[in-house]
Amino acid sequence: MSFVELAAEADRRWKSLTEGETPWIRVGAALCGKAAGSDAVLVALESSLQRHGVAAQISEVGCLGPCFAEPLVDVQLPGGSRVIYRDVTPETAEEIVASHVVLGTPVAHLALGYIGESSIDGIPALSAHPMKASETRIALRNAGNIDPGDIYQYIANGGYQALNQSLTEMTAQEMLEQVNASGLRGRGGAAFATGTKWNFLAGSKEPVKYVLCNCEEGDPGAFNDKGILESDPHTVVEGIILAGYATGASNGYIFVRHGHDGPVDRARGAVEQAYELGLLGQNILGSDYSFDLEVALTGDSYVSGEETALMEAIEGKRSMPRYRPPFPAQVGLFGKPTNINNVKTLAYVPEIVAKGGAWFAGIGHGRSTGTAILCLSGPLNYTGMVEVPMGLNLNQVLYEIAGGIKGGKDLKLVQTGGPLGGVLGVDNMDLALDFEVFREAGAILGSGGIIAADEDTCIVDLTRALIAFCQYESCGKCFPCRMGMSHLLEVLERICRLEGERGDLELMRSVGLNMQAGSLCGHGQLGFNPVSSAIKYFGPEFDAHVLERRCPTGACLGVKFSPKLTRR
Amino acid sequence: MDGLKQRITAAIHNQPQPTVTVLSSLLAVEDAIGYIPKDAVEEVADLTGTTINDVWAVASFYPNFRFDPPCEHQLELCWGPSCHLMGAMAVIAAALDQVGVEGEGDTSDGKLSLRYNTCLGACAQAPVISADHNLMGRQSPEKVRAAVTALLASPSPHGQGGN
């Protein structure tokens, strides 16, 4: 089938789904939906439909964003607007079917909002919800809207057009120019210019070259990579093929942690479907370009997300970082030139190619072009995943988009960029979402995880928890990181027990400096950040623990639990 | 234990992806059998042209691998920072108490294997646990006690074990 025929078939299928005879019910079933109980809701919907003897198409879709309201059920009658129901239980699922699906009367009191042209009485537009009002969806454009298991739904919504356009109308050089012009920078944490990175690989004349997509995402508080991969895997697959075409690569891998079944299954399914339709493999869409892609899994290891450790894991070894140089663009996976990009970075690429680099560069703030894909967690009123233009400040993110702290409590701090990103005190809430602005403030915007903590949080206890994570996840290759993390944890546990000693903060600083100087990868180099940033913003609270032997919040007197976990 | 050997062989020879490595083979065995039997280490070494030392090196590095058969049910408790801030410590304490153990490990009656996890990936629903690989969010000490009771009363899932 030519691409024109594929697109026509996809359109036909999409029209019959949205304007055909039967209602379409979408159930949010990404990790967030599953954790909120979407499986039981799905069963209830199916049995309710059967009992009423009505036919409806049910699809498990990805993450629409407002995870706080999961399980979400989205009902669309033929040709009508979608109604998004919140906090659905098996009982309310029955009510929704009986009223909305059977009688055509939406259940206003259960609805979060509607999406579509025609308004619905008593239900607000979802686009007016605080979590949605500031959004600009590029990478998340299809998330929650399409069935991630159906490639035709992706194509019907403009998918693979950028690939077809590139293969037929653009040279690899022209594609590189668009990506350079977009100003796109890596969303995995380092914010390195994607175009520059691709240029390195494009410069190599080796016949076998790799493009890797990093979805290891071990950062607690970050779930946007997994969210994109399970909500819209084809935007990632298309982004990888485009990256391959621009750099002249022959093979690719999507790298996911074993055990995250949703993202793993969606990625595998998407690759298989792309092969079936001739979008992967030999002579893609009849062009001269051939590219092979597969899904590789890692075991539990946070450091696997580091680019050279990731290559070790794909090769089947212990995921420990390599020495650099040589850099991956020269000697990477299986000794071949390799480019590694984060899921989010690659998910932008199809839209950048379709709409042009200048369009993307027109969104954002300073040198941080495009959007920030944020994961909001902690005691916030609205937790979930949002995509907003770079440049919004943290106040807007926390108080407008996330609706502030639950129960009217005060915000104490935010933790950004994964555990290694450290914490930011409330005086920094005017910081704009911008890689440079964050860096200058000593923080990391990183992969977009934002964890809020309220006034009841003890900074020493939280720092101990962050360092406990870092200690557990040190791969053990570099001595300063392996021992340093254990040492930091020991001191922090002592302070938490109110048995800290004068000089403990100095001791931790000395350990931290050694870790920074003597570690191969960011885990050890940035591993002191949680402690140093906590002391910077909350020095007096540490002093109260160490000098006065008291915990101002009382948290350190509560549950005593410190997972004593080390690598076996 | 010929049946076990056959299952190991089937698992490592039927991997879906073209790139077969020590790690991918071990993960395939874990998925199929729930742990890494000694025979699997030897067979993975043969298949991948490595030594059993190489295979043990990989197997012992990733904490998701275990080397003896798992219990009937799997319970994972997340203690990542998001869950920590939302009360994971109290949830974990309640779960440990309900199961009757002091920390990670297997119950003596072979009913339940309990593990901690650094991030189960559903941070917006913190605190999160995983009961026989089903994610359960918005936990509290009361909810987790009920979840443990329900888990122990449920039939053991087929193909138990692994992460």
| Chain A residues close to B12, C-beta within 8 Å | none
Instruction: For residues B38 and B94, state if they share a domain.
Output: no
Q: Which residues of chain A, if any, have pLDDT below 70?
A: 557-568
Of B81, B86, B135, the CB nearest to A466: B81
Residue B54 and residue B77 share a domain = no
- Output the pLDDT for position A92: 98
Which residues of chain A make contact with B121, given a CB cutoff of 8 A?
Answer: 31, 217, 223, 226, 260
What value does the mean pLDDT take over residues B88-104? 93
Domain check: are B57 and B77 in the same one?
no
Give the residue carrying structure tokens 């999961």: A70
Residues B147 and B87 in one domain: yes
User: Given an 8 Å threshold on Cβ–Cβ distance, is A294 in contact with B18?
Assistant: yes
**Residues for chain B: how many in total?**
163
Whether residues B88 and B136 share a domain: the answer is yes
User: Which structural domain, as residue segments, surrounds residue B85?
Assistant: 73-153
B84-113 residues touching A, CB cutoff 8 A = 84-86, 89-90, 92-93, 103-104
Question: Hey, are the CB atoms on A462 and B23 less than 8 Å from each other?
Answer: no
Cβ separation of A453 and B85 shorter than 8 Å? yes
Tens digit of each residue's pLDDT (9 = 90 or more) over B40-86:
999 999 999 999 999 999 999 999 999 999 999 999 999 999 999 99
Q: Which CATH class is domain A16-129?
A: alpha beta
Beta strands A251-257; A292-298: pairing state: parallel
pLDDT digits over A140-154, tens only?
999 999 999 999 999
How far does B36 lie from chain A, in Å, by closest CA?
13
Instruction: Please tell me the predicted confidence (pLDDT) of residue A551.
Output: 94
CATH of A151-361 given 3.40.50.880, 3.40.50.150, 3.40.50.11540, 3.40.50.620: 3.40.50.11540
The residue ranges of every structural domain in chain A are 16-129, 151-361, 367-454, 459-557
pLDDT of the residue at B1:
53
Q: How confident is the model at residue B153 (pLDDT cuts 50, 70, 90)?
A: very high
Tokens, residue B135: 């994610």
Nearest chain B alpha carbon to A225? B121
Domain-embedded: residue B163 = no
CA proximity to A402, closest of A393, A27, B140, A538:
A393
B122 closest CB neighbour out of A31, A449, A558: A31
Q: Can you tell me whether residue A295 is helix, strand or coil?
A: strand
Per CATH, domain A367-454 is 3.10.20.600: yes
CB contact under 8 A, A469 and B92: no
If asked whether residues B93 and B136 sit together in one domain, one would say yes
Determine the distance from the C-alpha atom of residue B50 to the mean position of all C-alpha atoms in its chain, rounded to a whole number. 26
Q: Is B138 touching A (CB cutoff 8 A)? A: yes
Tokens linked to A61: 């879709």
pLDDT value, residue A446: 86
**Do B53 and B88 belong together in one domain?**
no
Domain A459-557 has CATH 1.20.1440.230: yes
Chain-centre distance for alpha carbon A59: 22
Q: How many CB atoms lie within 10 A of CB A20?
A: 14
What is the DSSP code string of A442-497?
A: T---TT-EEEEEETT--HHHHHHHHHHHHHHH--S-SHHHHHHHHHHHHHHHHHHT
SS (H, E, C) A66-123: CHHHCCCEEEECCCCCEEEECCCCHHHHHHHHHHHHHHCCCCHHHEEEEECCCCECCE
- Model confidence at B163: pLDDT above 80: no
Strand partners, A454: A411
Domain count, chain B: 2
- Distance in angstroms (rounded) separating the CA atoms of residues A528 and A509: 8
List pLDDT tens digits, range A447-458: 899 999 999 999
pLDDT of residue A334: 98
Tell me the C-alpha distance between A331 and A535, whole Å: 40
Which contacts of B11-15 are long-range, i.e. CB under 8 A and separated by 24 or more positions?
B12/B40, B12/B43, B12/B44, B12/B47, B13/B47
Q: Are residues B53 and B16 in the same domain?
A: yes
